[in-house]
Amino acid sequence: MATKQLKPTTPGQRHRIAPVFDDVTTDRPLKSLTKGIDKSGGRNNRGRMTMRRRGGGHKRKYRVIDFKRNKLDVPAKVQTIEYDPNRTARIALLAYADGEKRYILAPNKLQVGDTVVSSHTAPPEIGNAMPLKSMPLGTVIHNIEMQPGKGGQLCRSAGTSAQLVAKTDKYCTVKLPSGEVRMVLGTCFATVGGTSNPDHFNTTLGKAGRSRWLGRRPKVRGVAMNPVDHPMGGGEGKASGGHPRSPWGQASKGKKTRNRRKLSSKFIVRRRKTKKS
């Protein structure tokens, strides 16, 4: 997968860097593995806005993805590589030997016709899923479970991958894309390889309307508001708003907001990389 620079025939195309869909093999999803999806527009069950800058966007169908990879010891052949509007990575349609079909996150360099399997004794090849304790050290992985049987939660977006760096009797140590080093139970499953569409971060939307198609509404700076609307609002001319904070007074851009008593903190061996001041 790569990107392409378009000719500036319109202002919206002048700065656009568009994705290339060479890796996608079909434009129609399997109907039995799709379902309708409702959008909340950032509203909760009372209709109150709880997430700003959400709303609109193109209508989508949800593709049911198998994050658990719990169909053990049954080989599956890759039938298609597809685009999914609900995520940045590509998805792959697997046809199992017993006739069942499932979608999975497509690993990078997985191709139509390849065979993958989920097993405790599977070889560490691209697309195979197995427990962390069964993998050799240094394996590049994605779709990592944090609790056995819950399904993959880590490294699911385009072009991301983690690395298995250590193993003990109970826990395995994984280095995540953020630089964080974390302990995960060895019985948790993960998939070998990095996720597909690694050039996604090189794309540029080019115009505001393309953001609206993705369901993102405009963002208004706090310093451009009035004092009644934001703590950083007001002032004469282009006066700055003081210390950066949210409309509700929560300090940002450097203030530590993580709960010190969070239970998962004991599994973090090294915190993620932070910008040096």
Divide the 277 residues of the chain into consecutive groups of 10 and give the mean pLDDT of each group. 89 95 95 95 96 96 97 97 97 97 97 97 96 97 97 97 96 97 97 97 96 96 94 89 91 88 94 68
Which among 153, 144, 200 has a CA at the least distance from the CA of 175?
144
Side by side, the strands of the sheet bearing 140-142 are 129-131, 189-192, 140-142, 162-167, 171-175, 181-185, 268-270
Predicted local distance difference test score (pLDDT) of residue 265: 93
Give the tokens for residue 164.
Answer: 């298995």
Predicted local distance difference test score (pLDDT) of residue 276: 54
pTM: 0.92
Predicted local distance difference test score (pLDDT) of residue 57: 95
Domains contained in the chain, CATH given = 3-201 (2.40.50.140)
Cβ burial, residue 104 (10 Å; 0-12/13-18/19+): buried
